[in-house]
């Protein structure tokens, strides 16, 4: 399950006024949920036996196979992670010092359906595997991309300057550009980033 979770993208979700990043993977054998508010990371991994036991405690009137519960949970969580909210389903979370509970209320076969995800702090290795390492890899890739684009802009400026020195002129003056100034660009970019995070 956790190997499959690695291939799932993070999604932005809101419960009340609280924003989180979350990802989940559901199978007939169980599920795993990973959720973070960028200050802490929590997770829950439950096998079919645990799901069956909890479903009996929360949904005494529902007599369906565990696989049906897991399929229903998947059908509720996947639209949430895709940004498609269902008016017939409600989500709420309760955050304590050491855990996070996600409460789900919906219906199944015409009867009320309840589920509680009981998430505990994720191990450091899990956080590194799902959050830290992918972010570092993406950051390095973006830095490399910026370096390549900066080099390309300098080459384009040199090419344009060569055309000008050869007597070439623009047919439309609105296409004229100023030479690329890397330091000015970096300063403006960082100023925009700071203002957008305030």
Q: What is the radius of gyration, based on Cα positions, of the chain? A: 25
Whole-prediction pTM: 0.77
* Neighbour-count burial of 21, counting CB atoms closer than 10 A to its CB (0-12 exposed, 13-18 middle, 19+ buried): middle
Q: What is the mean pLDDT of the chain?
A: 89
Cβ atoms 116, 58 nearer than 8 A: yes
> What's the rounded mean pLDDT across residues 101-117?
89
Please, which pLDDT band fits residue 173 given cuts at 50, 70 and 90? confident
CATH topology for 128-196 is Helix Hairpins (1.10.287)
pLDDT at 12 over 90: yes
> What's the rounded mean pLDDT across residues 165-175?
85
Q: Is 51 helix (H, G, I), strand (E, B) or coil?
A: helix
What residue ranges do the domains of the chain occupy?
1-122, 128-196
What is the structure's pLDDT at 133?
93
Q: Nearest CA to 75 among 103, 102, 108?
A: 108
The stretches of the chain forming alpha helices (DSSP H) are 2-6, 48-58, 66-81, 124-127, 133-165, 182-196
Q: Which architecture characterizes domain 1-122 according to CATH?
A: Beta Complex (2.170)
Q: Is 173 helix (H, G, I), strand (E, B) or coil?
A: helix
Among 29-38, 42-51, 97-106, 185-194, whose mean pLDDT is lowest? 185-194
Residue 89 tokens read as 């389903």
Among 48-52, 75-79, 85-89, whose mean pLDDT is lowest? 85-89
């Amino acid at each position: 399950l956790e190997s499959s979770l690695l291939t799932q993208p993070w999604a932005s979700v809101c419960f009340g006024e609280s924003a989180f990043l979350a990802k989940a993977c559901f199978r007939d054998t169980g599920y795993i949920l990973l959720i973070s508010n960028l200050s802490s990371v929590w997770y829950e991994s439950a096998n079919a036996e645990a799901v069956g036991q909890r479903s009996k405690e929360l949904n005494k009137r529902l007599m369906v196979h565990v696989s049906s519960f897991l399929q229903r949970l998947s059908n509720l969580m996947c639209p949430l992670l895709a940004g498609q909210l269902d008016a017939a389903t409600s989500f709420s979370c309760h955050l304590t010092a050491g855990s996070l509970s996600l409460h789900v209320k919906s219906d199944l076969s015409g009867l009320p359906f309840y589920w509680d995800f009981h998430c505990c702090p994720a191990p450091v290795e899990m956080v590194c595997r799902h959050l830290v390492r992918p972010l570092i890899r993406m950051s390095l890739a973006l830095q490399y991309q910026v370096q390549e684009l900066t080099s390309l802009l300098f080459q384009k400026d040199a090419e344009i300057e060569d055309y000008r020195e050869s007597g070439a002129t623009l047919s439309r003056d609105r296409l004229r550009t100023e030479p690329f100034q890397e330091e000015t660009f970096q300063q403006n970019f960082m100023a925009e980033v700071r203002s957008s995070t305030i």
